[in-house]
Structure 1
Amino acid sequence: MHLLELYRPILVGTIPIGIHVENSDLDLICEVNDIASFDALEELARAHLQQYRGYTLTRRKVDGLWRLKVNFWLEHWPVEIFAQQKPVMEQNGYRHMVIENRLLRLYGEDFRQQVIALKREGLKTEPTFANLLQLDGDPFSKLLELETWEDEQLRMLWMR
């Protein structure tokens, strides 16, 4: 985290919300301000991380936004660093984690255990939530649609 501090890193995903399983990775999201920041982060990753097992780095434009993704293993943990030219709290990884945590809080321990069971079967997180809630369509965008729902609406979704 210290290495990435200029990029405002935040740990997101399953670990902070307590639904990680044996094969879960450490997901760090970062914010970059411009192309020069991307270049600097890419150079930082190469200088400090490429010696780790499984190191890969990809940089591409998706939906008009540049993104950089670095993967590697740190001891027994797979790590993914994701950077985008967007504040970390506006990035989908953070937004997904917030709504997933809210759903876990609203639906309770039985729901949490169902999520964990599906994840142990190999289902990724967002598809797991979409599956349990019977949300049709792209699970990533469907979860984001729930951000603005009131708690009562979310409770009714689970009750059906």
Structure 2
Amino acid sequence: MFETIDYLRFGNQKQKNAYNAINSLGIMESLSEFNPILCGTLPIGIDIEGSDLDIIMEVFDPNKFEKKVKLLFSNKEKFIFKKTVIRNFSVVKANFMYGGFEFELFGQPQSVKEQYAYLHMVIENFIISNHPSVQEEVILLKKQGYKTEPAFCKVLGLKGDAYETLIDFGKKNRIV
């Protein structure tokens, strides 16, 4: 379902606006060699004011990615590019503002469908699709300052590192 952003055209107004902003930038086409997928809260309707658009990618050559992203987007408002390490992966990130949204382009040397952002989104989407009341509870917690994964774990009564625990929950329940 999340391989393209076409579903956003039929979503709520914010999803439609995101669809237009992403298409206007041409991100999915211009970075197609990195297999971009929009992840996070907006695709599954649990975004709140200030939620960004997370586009994750497979980046095995960080220098090539950096050159391309800077060429395409360094002229955008509040553009920042950085390299870091998360969970033993070298990560590249670019952030900027466009069309009323903060974009985060995130790349690591791993298939997008194996990255935590994608797995979390699939698990969270499954949960709210099967238990609609969870959606509102998570949104309320997010408005109180909770990050998404800790909010889901609190609602579900799951303990431990929220990012790992949610993955374990998804595997135990054969969601991922």
Listed one character per residue, the Cα deviations across residues 62-95 of structure 1 (whole Å, up to 9, x for unaligned) are: 3442110111111210110110100000001000
CA distance in 1, matches of 2:152, 2:87: 24
| CA-based RMSD | 1.5
C-alpha deviation, 1:132, in angstroms: 1.1
Q: 1:6 to 1:122 in 2, by over 3 A?
A: same
Look up the match of 2:43: 16
| 3-state SS in 1 of match to 2:149 | helix
| 3-state SS in 1 of match to 2:43 | coil
CA distance in 2, matches of 1:137, 1:32: 29
CA distance in 2, matches of 1:17, 1:79: 17
Aligned counterpart for 2:84 among listed residues 33, 46, 60:
60
After superposing on structure 2, the runs of 4+ consecutive aligned residues of structure 1 that deviate more than 6 Å are none
- Normalised by the length of structure 1, the TM-score is 0.85
CA distance in 1, matches of 2:87, 2:39: 22
Look up the match of 1:84: 108
| 3-state SS in 1 of match to 2:72 | helix
Report 1 or 2 for greater relative contact order, CA contacts < 8 Å, sequence distance ≥ 6. 1
Look up the match of 1:5: 32
- Normalised by the length of structure 2, the TM-score is 0.78
Say whether 1:143 aligns with 2:166.
yes
C-alpha deviation, 1:112, in angstroms: 0.9
Aligned counterpart for 1:26 among listed residues 53, 56, 71:
53
Larger Cα Rg: Structure 1 or Structure 2? 1
CA distance in 2, matches of 1:78, 1:7: 20
Letter in 2 for 1:30: M
Q: Greater CA deviation, 86-95 or 43-52?
A: 43-52
Alignment length (residue pairs): 147
Letter in 2 for 1:2: E
Q: 1:69 to 1:145 in 2, by over 3 A?
A: same
TM alignment of 1:68-147, pairs within 5 A:
68-108=92-132, 110-147=133-170
Unaligned runs of 5+ in 1: 152-160
Listed one character per residue, the Cα deviations across residues 89-132 of structure 1 (whole Å, up to 9, x for unaligned) are: 00010000011111112212x22111111122222111111111
Unaligned runs of 5+ in 2: 1-27
CA distance in 2, matches of 1:143, 1:69: 23
CA distance in 1, matches of 2:72, 2:104: 14
